[in-house]
Every structure is written in C-alpha cells, then in structure tokens.
Amino acid sequence: MHRRSTRKLLSDAIQLLLHHHLKPRKSIEECKQIHAKLIRSNQTPLQIHIFNILLNFYSQCNDLCSARRVFDQMPHKNVVSWTSLISSYALHGFLRTSVALFTEMLESTVKPNTHTFSFMIHECTTSCLSVLGIQIHCLVIKFGFEKDEFLGSALVDFYLKVWNNMDEAFRVFDGLWRRDRVTWNVLISGLADVSDVGEVLRLFREMRVADELRPNDYTLTSLLKCCSLIIEVDQIHGLAMKYGMESDVVVGSGLVDMYGKCGKLDTGRKVFDSMEVKDIFSWSSIIASYVRNGSPEQAVTLFLHMCRQGVKPDQHVLSSVLRACAEAGNLESGIQVHAQMIKNAYQADCFVGSALMSIYANAKELGSVEKLFRRIENKDIVAWNCILMCYAQKEELATFYSISLFRELCQTSTVRPDMATLVALIASCQSVLDLAVGIQIHGLIMKRRVGCETSIGNAVIIMYSNCGSIIDAYKAFDDIVNKDEISWSSIIGSHLQNGFELEAVNICKEMLAEGIYLTSFSLPLCIAASAKLAAIDLGKQFHSFFVKLGLEGDTFVGSSIVDMYAKCGNVEASQKAFKELQEPNVVSFNTMISGFARQGNAAKAIELYGEMEKMGIVPNGVTFLALLSGCSHMGLVENSLAFFNIMCQKYNIEPEPEHFACLVDVLGRAGRLEEAYCIIENDGSVLAWKTLLSACRNYENTKLAEKCATKVMQLDPTDHSSYVLLSNLYSREGKWKEASKLRQKLVNVGGKKNLGSSWLM
DNA sequence: TTAGGGTTAG
C-alpha cells in the first residue's frame, strides 16, 4: 500500500475517534473496516500508530478480545502498544493478565518507559499489591527513571497509601528532579489521610514558597480533611473564594461536609446552593449535614428533591437518609427509601442494610430485620451488633437467639466481636430466668478483662438488676474504673427496680458526695424512690434539685414529680407540678389521671382526659387503664363501658388483661355478672377470671363461679385462690361433698394457700 | 502517565 493510503487510514482513524461518541455503534463497524484495510497494508512507521489507536478504541468499547487481536496482529509493537494493552486489561479488572503481560514485555525487545511504570505503580496502589510495587520500584531504579516527576508522584502515593511509609515517600519526593503541583498534592493528601496536620501545613507553606506553586482544588480538598475547628474551615473557604474554587464540585462538597460537621449548617447550605454543578457527593454531604444537626425531616425532604431531579441515589446517601428516617421515627419514609434501595440494587450493602435494620428494629419488625441482615454480603461488626441489639429486645427467648447468633459470628465470620457486641449480648438477659446465661457472658467479659470498661460495666449492672441479683449488680458497679453518670443512674435504678428504695436514695447521696451532679436520668429515679417510700420531704428536696438544675423543660423528670406528689397523697401539689409542665405529653397526662383515679376522684380524671383530647394528645393503653381503674373504684359502670369502647374502637388499642380486669371488676360489683362473663368469654386472662370469680362469691352465684373457677384452674392450676373461693361457696350452700373434693384437688396439684402477713406484727 | 470529596449502632 502506498504511503498516501496509509495517511488516509490514519485520518480515518482520527475521524473515528472524534465521532465515536456521536454514533458509537457505527464507529465500531468503521473501526473494523479500518482494521481490515490495515492488515492488508504494507508496513510503515505510521502503521504502528494507527494500530495503537485501534487497540485503544476497542478497549474503550469494552471489546478486549478485538484489542488483543489487534495487538497480536501487529507486525511491530512499540512501548505504547504494550502499555495500552497492559492498562486495558487492568482497567477491565484482569489484573493477573495485565501483570503477566508486563512481565512478558520485560522479556521482549521493547522496554517499558515512564508511562508504563507509572501505570503499573498506580495499579499496585489501587489494588494494594505491596510486594509487586516494591519490585517495580527496583526496576524503576534499574532503568534510571526514579527522578521522573510523574513516576515519582505515583511512587510517593504508593508508599503513603499501601505501606503508610512516610520516610520512603519523602525519600522518593526529595530525590525528584523537579516537583509539580501533583507531586506536592500527592504528598499533602497522603499526610492529610493520617491526620498529620502539622506536617500538612508545613508542606502547604513550602509548596507555595519553595516551588512558587499555587494551591488548586486538590490541595484545598486535602487541607479541608485536616480541619477540626470552624475557623480553619472558614480559612479554607476564604482560599477557595480567593482562587475561584468555591463552586468547584469537589471543593464545594468538601466545604458543605465540613461546615455540617462543625455545626454551621446554614453556611454549608449557602455553599451548596451556590454550586452550579451538584453531584451525588454534594447531595450526600448536605443531606448528612441535616441529619447530623438534628433536622432529619429536612434531610428526607432534600433526598426526595434530589430524586425528583433525576440524581440516582447511591449507598452513601441511602444510609444517611435512612438514619434521618430512623431519627424522625418515620417508618413510612423508611419504607419508601427501602424501595429505592431495592430499585438501585443496594440490598447487599452493609451500610445501607444496617441503617435500614435499625428502622425496622425500632418499629419492632424483627422478621424484616432478620431478612435484611441475611441479605448483607460482607457483614461488618456494626451489622452483627445491630441484629444482636435487636434480638436483645425480643420478648421471648432473647438469650437463646442472641447466643446462637454470637456463636455463628465467632464460628463463621472473620469479623471480631467488639465492646458493643458484648453490651448487646448481655442486654439480652432480661429476667431471673436468664441469670445463668448472664453469669456466663459476664465470665466472658471478665476473661477479656473489659468488665472495668464503663460501657460494659454499665450493661452488666443492668443485666444483674433485670435478673434480680442486686449484690452482683453492685459488684459490677464497683468494678468500673471510671464511673460515669450512666453507671450511677444504673445502680440507683437497679436498687429501685429490686425494691431497695432506701438504698437507692443512699447511693444517690454517695454520688452527690463524690461530686457527681444529678441528671435527667438519675433524678427521676430518686424521685420515684421517694414516691415508693412515700417520703414527701425527701421528694421535695429532689424537686428543688429539679429547679436548681434548670430541668424544668424536661417533661420526663417533671412527670416523675407529678407522680411522686400523687403517690405521697398530696394531689394538690401533684396538680400544681402538672400545671407547671412546659410541654406535657401522654406520660404526664397518664400520671395525673392515675393520681386522680387513685384518690378516687374519677370526675377529675375524666375531665383531664377531655383536656388531653382537646390538646390533640393521643391516649394510649395506660391512659385507659387509669380511667377504667378510676371509674371502677367509684362504681361508674356506664363510664367504664364507654371508655373501654373508645379504647378499642376509636383508638384501636388491644385491651390488656388489666383492662379486662377493671371492666369485670366494675360490672361484677354492680352485679352485672353475666355481662362481664360475655366480655371475657373468648379472650379473658387469669386476672379477669379471678376478678369475676370473687364477684360471683359476693353475689353468691355458684353456677357462674364454677365456670370461672374452672377457667382459672385451666389457665393456672397452681393458683390456690380459685379452689378456696369456690370451696367456700359450696360450704355456704351446704355442698360439703363438692367443697371437700375441691380442697383435695388443691392438695393434689400442689397448691398451697399463701399465709397472710401484716406490717403491724 | 501522577493527586481529591459523602455513609451504618450504642
């Protein structure tokens, strides 16, 4: 072929490259045509150049086989041909083939140049090939390329990222012929990654003074990573404005992120709004900022806005917005984001999966949590801890599930349990039945010598308290080296939970003597202890702490004061404390309604319920229990029936045994025994049947009493009271035979009448 | 040929 036609082929190949993005499918065909002509052509130096263009072209079109064919068909190959194919294989994920080809090249007549070595070192960095990187560095020295600035930048990056070896990185850096902005940026970025702020600032100054180089967007990004104070972020922001990089998508996103982390959400938002180009990083940064700064609703709104703009969510933004849904307690949005997660195929992602798990865990959807956990591919310790915390909240067999999963973690995963794992594991022990397991887990904690750690020790205190072992709880408290306010409130709470109110108050005094202040956690516990002891003077002292500590805005603590006064019998003081609550919630209302009910003032209780409804506060099961108990004490049958219906029908609340018992009590006292029987016929509990049974005794309705007693005996055969009650009824009616039979039956099932006792004896 | 940013629990 003539020289002219080769030139034509070259111009065709260049045209091909230029127009490829316009008509990709057509250009592959054109490429094949040029390729065919080229094979038939004579050899000219230009030919290698055209072959190289075609090789790169096929590679860009993801047709590696054709790229390889071009390479194999080349009569002569140069360094560009070799380097192109080596990089093509690596970029398409065929790292071994790429390295094999590099080795083959070393044995060929064509020698690698600085481009080839730069690429290979870069590959060693991204794929973390630590030993191969050093071997290639030796070759670089052998070939005399070590002073090259391009290759040097790649080597500095390699030593910092793969080996974390600053000395070697500096050695390469100092030996370079000249340093450009990239070389400086590589070094600064590597040091910023290990948070060597002093060194980063020194280099930043030196770069500007010694080499007279202006910082660019990469430099500012590294500097931003080192910021820990708002003033530093402001300074970088100033530099970005000075050099016109404020609206650069990467620098801008970095600023948005850092302002969010420093709590200056508004400034971050201004930067975000000023950015002309926003990518998924920018959206992710601003959304995470809203979550971090306590505005989860706005984070969710922004996420929806982002989706509407056609930006495809990725795993980062999904996990941020899921955290927002969790914090806003918004299960519905969580489900919507779950749909986006499935749509964008992030089900196997550990971060997204864990964030979603906590949403379903809060909603008590344990089955969904389990499914999500199983779908995560590379589970990290956070994912494991998340499901363990979830199992710890199970109502039944929590220890069984938790221990099985912990065993699975230890036996099947390379992930190592951490402190949070042990905390989650021990939190699964919730009752005296779990004490044996709890002791074993505590043994594991002792073996690892982490019992003295505050977070673990606090969890151990709570475990022993839940399992009823207060002495061990105190020992665990004693073992903690640095007791925090949670340690103190846990041990105070433990004593209160196990009926040691006086000791709880004494420990509180000890805490105050140690110079630890009462907090919104420990104070309500002490107030509750005063209430239990009916010690109003003590309660008043704690009330004064409430004022002194400025906790008046805390509804939780405020409600405990309302409860304390009511339980101590001073309803007026209770009412006053209730009126002083700044933002009463359902708990506060329940406390006050219970206070009135306990006092026998059903009218006031009902009136307060009306106020609560007017304020738009939704009542719960506890509210209705208080109302029913108030009405039942006063014999208000119709009111009781009305509240029971409102609860079930208007608020869709499933009645608990206590609700039934109250209703049966009031009906029973009014002699409406059959009516009570009808209500509990299908779903009554032992408590309701026992209540009805005693009503039957009062009205001497032996027929119905027999039915009730049979039910109680079925539900709890060891309960003595049903046998005794019925037997007394039989005796009263002169049915001595039946009475005696029943007493014998009681002896047979092993039931024993509890002996009475009196505080006065 | 070489350099950069955002995410999960307690």
- Averaged pLDDT, A164-189: 94
Q: How many CA within 13 A on the CB side of residue A144?
A: 1
| A383 strand B contact, CB < 7 Å | yes
Reduced to 3 states (helix: H, G, I; strand: E, B; else coil), residue A259 is helix
Question: What type of residue is A77?
Answer: K
In the numeric block, which tokens belong to residue A548? 């002194």
Q: Residue A476 CA to chain centroid, in angstroms? A: 28
Q: From residue A594, how far is each of A427, A507, A589 by CA, in Å?
A: 31, 29, 8
Question: What type of residue is A156?
Answer: V
User: Is residue A502 a contact partner of residue A533, using CB atoms and an 8 Å limit?
Assistant: yes
A343 CA from B5 C1′ (Å) = 25
Q: Which pLDDT score, from 0 to 100, does residue A757 have? A: 54
Q: Which pLDDT band holds residue A759 (cuts at 50, 70, 90)? A: very low
- CA A424 – CA A397 distance, rounded (Å): 15
- Averaged pLDDT, A509-527: 94
Q: In chain A, which residues from 180 to 219 place their CB closer than 7 Å to nucleic acid strand B? A: 180-183, 185-186, 189, 193, 216-218
Phi/psi for A60 (5° steps) reads -65, -30
Cβ neighbours of A382 (radius 10 Å) = 17
| A154 strand B contact, CB < 7 Å | yes
A421 CA from B10 C1′ (Å) = 10
Average pLDDT of the residues of chain A: 90
Q: Which pLDDT band holds residue A743 (cuts at 50, 70, 90)? A: confident
Q: Which pLDDT score, from 0 to 100, does residue A480 have? A: 96
| DSSP H helix total and E strand total for chain A | 44, 0
| A393 strand B contact, CB < 7 Å | no
Give the CA angle between residues A221, A222, A226 to the nearest 5°. 115
Q: From residue A565, how far is each of A13, A527, A534, A542 by CA, in Å?
A: 91, 10, 9, 12
* Greatest extent of chain A over all pairs of C-alpha atoms, in Å: 131
- Averaged pLDDT, A334-350: 92
Alpha-helix runs per DSSP H in A348-453: 350-362, 366-375, 381-392, 398-412, 419-427, 435-447
Q: Which pLDDT score, from 0 to 100, does residue A760 have? A: 44
* DSSP assignment letter at A416: P
Q: Which pLDDT band holds residue A349 (cuts at 50, 70, 90)? A: very high
A25 has pLDDT over 70: no
Q: Which pLDDT band holds residue A42 (cuts at 50, 70, 90)? A: low
- Averaged pLDDT, A496-525: 95
| A157 strand B contact, CB < 7 Å | yes
A352 CA from B9 C1′ (Å) = 12
User: Is residue A224 a contact partner of residue A195, using CB atoms and an 8 Å limit?
Assistant: no
Handedness of CA A54, A60, A62, A68 (dihedral sign): positive
Q: Residue A294 CA to chain centroid, in angstroms? A: 15
A62 CA from B3 C1′ (Å) = 26
Q: Residue A575 CA to chain centroid, in angstroms? A: 40
- Choice between A716 and A382, residue whose per-residue pLDDT is larger: A382
pLDDT digits (tens, 9 = 90+) for A667-708: 998 999 888 998 888 777 888 888 888 888 888 888 888 888
Among A203, A142, A143, residue whose Cα is nearest residue A169: A203
Torsion angle of the four alpha carbons A287, A289, A290, A294, in this order, in degrees rounded to the nearest 10: 140
Question: What type of residue is A548?
Answer: K
Among A381, A382, A360, A380, residue whose Cα is nearest residue A369: A360
The nucleotide closest to A250 (CA, C1' atoms) = B5
Torsion angle of the four alpha carbons A620, A622, A628, A633, in this order, in degrees rounded to the nearest 10: -160
Q: Which pLDDT score, from 0 to 100, does residue A761 have? A: 40
Above pLDDT 90, what percent of chain A? Answer: 73
pLDDT digits (tens, 9 = 90+) for A697-727: 888 888 888 888 888 888 887 777 777 777 8
- Averaged pLDDT, A253-270: 95
**Closest residue to B8 (CA, C1′):** A351
The domain ranges of chain A are 379-482, 655-754
3-state helix, strand, coil in chain A (%, to 5): 75, 0, 25
Superfamily of domain A655-754: Tetratricopeptide repeat domain (1.25.40.10)
Q: Which pLDDT score, from 0 to 100, does residue A688 have? A: 85
Chain B positions with an atom below 7 A of a protein C-beta are 1-10
Q: In chain A, which residues from 418 to 457 place their CB closer than 7 Å to nucleic acid strand B? A: 418-420, 423, 455
A247 has pLDDT over 50: yes
A7 has pLDDT over 60: yes
- E strand segments, A251-324: none
Q: Which pLDDT score, from 0 to 100, does residue A278 have? A: 95
A756 has pLDDT over 90: no
Q: Which pLDDT band holds residue A41 (cuts at 50, 70, 90)? A: confident
User: Is residue A700 a contact partner of residue A729, using CB atoms and an 8 Å limit?
Assistant: yes
A112 CA from B2 C1′ (Å) = 17
